[in-house]
Amino acid sequence: MSSLPLARVVTRRLSVPVRDTRPPRELSQDEVATLLRIADCLIPAAGPNPAASDAENYLEYLHLALAARADAFDAVMDAAATLAAVPDEDLRAALKQMWATDKGTFDPLSAILAGAYFMTPQIMALIGYPGQHRDPAGLEDAANELETGILEPVLARGYISVSAAGE
């Protein structure tokens, strides 16, 4: 038996992209200010809930949300550039107009800004959301799924094989 050094094998699932926690590019101070104005317009302070920009670490989570939706980054930043010149008193009307006429831009813009808000630990605590966690079924629970018939359609369909390479 030879004593060859073991090679380190690194595997990466093709179906899962590399997680990036930074937006595709750095944001300017003006872009950040505009995004915060839009976020505050969409999520104003109400009762114990702070306005979006006042949520603890909101900016950190905004960057994370922009990174997660890098596919919509350019559209969101174009929208921010368009809305930058809109005065505060007209911003809500401009956003309503965008919602009515350009959902392809409004939807990712609002999803990113609201998503960042709801990712902050402060807001998660305020709404009572514990975060994602695993809750695996026990052996008896899995057996009961077989007894109840809930898995019958899946079992009848059979195994599905999907290649990560699209073959």
Which range is most confident: 21-30, 94-103, 135-144?
94-103
Separation of alpha carbons 65 and 68, rounded Å = 5
- What does DSSP assign to residue 127? H
Tell me, what's the pLDDT at 6? Answer: 56
> What is the per-residue pLDDT across 143-163, written as a single tens digit (0 to 9) for each?
677 677 777 887 888 777 766
Structure tokens belonging to residue 56: 């603890």
Distance, CA of 43 to CA of 116 (rounded, Å): 11
Q: What is the pLDDT of residues 81-117, one digit of tens each?
A: 999 999 999 999 999 999 999 999 999 999 999 999 9
- What pTM, to 2 d.p., does this model score? 0.70
